Each structure stands twice: as structure tokens, then as C-alpha cells.
Amino acid sequence: MNARPLALLVAAAALAIGPPSFGAEGAAAPSMMKSIAEAGAPSLVTVKFVMKVEGAMGSQEEETETTGVMLDGEGLVLVNNIEMGGMLKMFGMSGRPTDIKVLVGDDTVGVDAKLIARDSELNLAWVRTNDKPAAAYKFTDFEQTAEPQVGDYLYIVGRMSKFFDRAATVHEVRMSGRTTKPQPLLLAGSMDGDMGSPVFDAAGKLVGVTTIVVPNEEDMGDGMNQQAMRQMMAPAVIPAKRVADATTRALETAATNPLPDEEPAVEPKETGEPATPTPAPGGGGGGGGM
């Protein structure tokens, strides 16, 4: 089984897709939704790569892509860790994205980039372009954020696939709750869009990014069946402040203990913990990632 179908299976198991609603009290007017799309879409980029996977069936390579969010004007991109092979270890495989390119705007060639850090707790990963751009990229500011309450409308800005020319979309959901364990997250009744998509409130202020909470190996235990695993997975929104703090830690880790260029990466056990190369067969590993 290769990396991309695994990511899609995880997403399909956790995401309940529901139709958007318009005009409800407290929701954004259609004109505001258009403004949210226009504000959020320019920071969305396409991250193309070749996933190299090692498993019991041997080695596989697959060219794939995912949507990322530009975090600064110099080429730092936030992506979902699952999409970058972050759950392979749970299925007895190891892997790492290679030949990474970031496509900005109408670019069809891409800028060379590399994976610099992972966070298995939040299911986030960071990619950075090898060269700084001549003109600063448009990006989403994770320091200017909103704090929605239960019942508030939220808007997920995402992209469709290459088949649909990566068209920008806005999906409306309603905040249904929040969690404190296993980590602080915002919940919504139904969620659509790529994992790692930015989420805004009805006034257009950033709320956070979408993710899927996945149990780690200790939580799963031995012999957990698929139904039990699905019950421990949930789509959620990571508050923007947590993303900003995790990004700071990720950059610090990348500066002092960078991921190796060739060996598969193993996610840290906890947010901000240095990543290490994949151990020999039978060795230990990181927390909730693959």
C-alpha cells in the first residue's frame, strides 16, 4: 500500500462532508465569503513531491501533491504531516518525501524545497524553499487571530485537485465544541477541504488550520481494529496560536538538529522534540506519526 491512498483512507474515515449553508444568522454574507476566499487563497500553494516508501513489499515511489499554506514571505510552508507520509510507521512502513517543489500562483514548474521539521502531535510539517524569492510571497499571518465560540460560523479556505485546476473553495461549518485532551482543539459538525487548510471566522480573521487527530501507538495498543481506530480519530481545527508556537519550535529544532537529507525521518514524540533518523528494525520511534 502506498502513501497517498493511506492518507486518503485516513481522511475519508475521519471527515464527514456536509453541504454549506448560507444566510443563517451570524454567518458571513456571500460578499464576505468572497472576501475571505480572496484573502486566504493567495497564501495557498501546491507542494509536489515524490514519496519514497519502504515496507514489507519492498520499495515504492509515487509522485503526488498536497496543498500548503505560506507562513512568511521567504518560502516557509505549512503542510499536513499525514500528507507527507507522517503515518507510514503505523502500517509497518517508513518513507520520506523527496524532490519537493513548491508551486506558487500560476507557476507550473515549482521552486525546489525541502522538508525541515515535523510535529506528530499536531500532525503538521514544515517545508522551506531552497532560495528566497525576488519578491516576497503572499502569506497568512498566524499572529493576527480570532477566538471563536461554540455556535460561531467558520470558513475553511482550500483548493481542489489538479484535475479542477486547483480552484480555490470556501466551505462553511459551525463550531460545535472544543477539546482540552488529548490537546486543545476546535471542533465542527462537518468539515471539508484539505488537511492543513486555513480557517477564518465570519469577519475574515484567522482561526487556525484543519487537521485530523490520530491516536499514537500507545493509545492504540495491540490489536486495535479499524472501527476502534476510527472512533479515536477526528477532524478538528488547531488554534492559530498553537500553530504559531509550534512553528517557532520547529524552526528552532531545524536550526539545531535538521532532518537528514537521505534517511527517512521519524516524528518527535512530543511537539518541538528533535527529530531523529529512522532506527534499525525493531527500534523505538516517535509518537503519533507514521
Q: Which position has the higher pLDDT, 28 or 222? A: 28
The domain spanning residue 168 has which CATH number? 2.40.10.10
pLDDT range class, residue 210, cuts 50, 70, 90: very high
Who contacts 5 (Cβ-Cβ below 8 Å, separation ≥6)? none
On whether residue 31 sits in a domain, the answer given is: yes
Distances (CA, A) of 208 to 92, 146, 204: 31, 9, 12
Helix (H, G, I), strand (E, B) or coil at 269: coil
Q: How far apart are CA 205 and CA 239, in angstroms?
A: 12
Helix (H, G, I), strand (E, B) or coil at 265: strand
CA neighbours closer than 13 Å in the CB half-sphere of residue 287? 20
Q: How far apart are CA 115 and CA 98, in angstroms?
A: 8
pTM equals 0.77
Helix (H, G, I), strand (E, B) or coil at 213: strand
Mean pLDDT (the chain) is 77
**Which of the residue ranges 162-176, 219-233, 244-258 has the most confident prediction, judged by mean pLDDT?**
244-258
Q: How far apart are CA 58 and CA 235, in angstroms?
A: 32
On whether residue 218 sits in a domain, the answer given is: yes
On whether residue 134 sits in a domain, the answer given is: no
Q: Which position has the higher pLDDT, 121 or 140? A: 140
Q: How many domains would you assign to the chain?
A: 1
Q: Which three cell numbers stand for residue 189?
A: 459538525
Q: How far apart are CA 94 and CA 223, in angstroms?
A: 20
Question: Is 252 in contact with 269 (CB distance < 8 Å)?
Answer: no
Q: Which position has the higher pLDDT, 144 or 72? A: 72
Q: Which three cell numbers stand for residue 101?
A: 517543489
Q: What is the pLDDT of residues 37-82, one digit of tens each?
A: 888 899 999 999 998 888 777 788 889 999 999 999 999 999 999 8
Categorise residue 100: left if φ over 0, alpha if ψ from -120 to 50, beta otherwise: beta
pLDDT of residue 226: 55
Contacts made by residues 171-180, CB under 8 angstroms, sequence distance 24+? 171/20, 172/20, 172/21, 172/22, 172/27, 172/28, 172/33, 173/18, 175/148, 175/149, 175/150, 175/151, 176/150, 177/150, 178/150, 179/236
Q: Which of 45, 167, 26, 172 is nearest to 110 (CA)?
A: 45
On whether residue 121 sits in a domain, the answer given is: no
Q: What is the mean pLDDT of residues 5-18?
A: 44
pLDDT of residue 23: 45
On whether residue 34 sits in a domain, the answer given is: yes
pLDDT of residue 190: 73
Q: Check pLDDT > 80 for residue 244.
A: yes
pLDDT range class, residue 117, cuts 50, 70, 90: very high
When mean pLDDT is compared across 151-155, 234-238, 272-276, the lowest value belongs to 272-276
pLDDT of residue 217: 58
Domain extent for 235: 21-41+141-243
Q: What is the mean pLDDT of residues 88-94?
A: 74
When mean pLDDT is compared across 39-43, 111-115, 282-286, the lowest value belongs to 282-286
> Phi and psi of 261, rounded to 5°?
-75, -30
Q: Check pLDDT > 80 for residue 109.
A: yes
> Phi and psi of 250, rounded to 5°?
-60, -40
Q: Please, which residues bridge with residue 101 across strands?
A: 48, 112
Q: Check pLDDT > 60 for residue 21.
A: no
pLDDT of residue 182: 80
On whether residue 56 sits in a domain, the answer given is: no
Q: Check pLDDT > 60 for residue 277.
A: no
